[in-house]
């Protein structure tokens, strides 16, 4: 898990949380994408940047190809989705 993102989330710094998560999960291809759902103190998943992270990490492509969106996300038509 990205320690910087975890502490940034805990202390309410949403911008730093996103920067650290993007660096870890998108730029460096950190393998455990399940951690994306662990940041909850800053309303991380409700921010529009969260959808960008899911797209850029390849998860949206996986969700669409598999049809398995899990418990937190669902498709909204062919080109959009929502997460909570």
The domain tally of the chain equals 1
Claim: this prediction has a pTM higher than 0.85: no
Q: Which residue has the tokens 């398995």?
A: 68
Residue 74: domain span? 3-83
Residues 57 and 73 sit within 8 Å (Cβ to Cβ) = no
Reported as type and span, the H/E element at residue 82 is: strand 80-83
What number of other Cβ atoms are within 10 A of residue 84's Cβ? 8
Please say whether the beta carbons of 38 and 8 come within 8 A.
no
pLDDT of residue 31: 63
pLDDT tens track for 26-70: 888 776 777 777 777 778 888 899 999 889 988 899 999 998 888
Round to whole Å and give the CA distance between 17 and 14.
5
Is it the case that residue 1 has pLDDT exceeding 70? Answer: no
């Amino acid at each position: 898990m990205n320690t910087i993102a975890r502490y940034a989330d805990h202390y309410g710094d949403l911008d730093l949380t996103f920067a650290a998560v993007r660096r870890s999960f998108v730029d460096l291809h950190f393998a455990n994408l399940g951690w994306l759902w662990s940041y909850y103190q800053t309303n991380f998943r409700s921010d529009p940047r969260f959808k960008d992270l899911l797209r850029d990490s390849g998860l949206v492509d996986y969700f669409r190809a598999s049809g398995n969106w899990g418990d937190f996300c669902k498709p909204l038509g062919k080109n959009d989705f929502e997460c909570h």
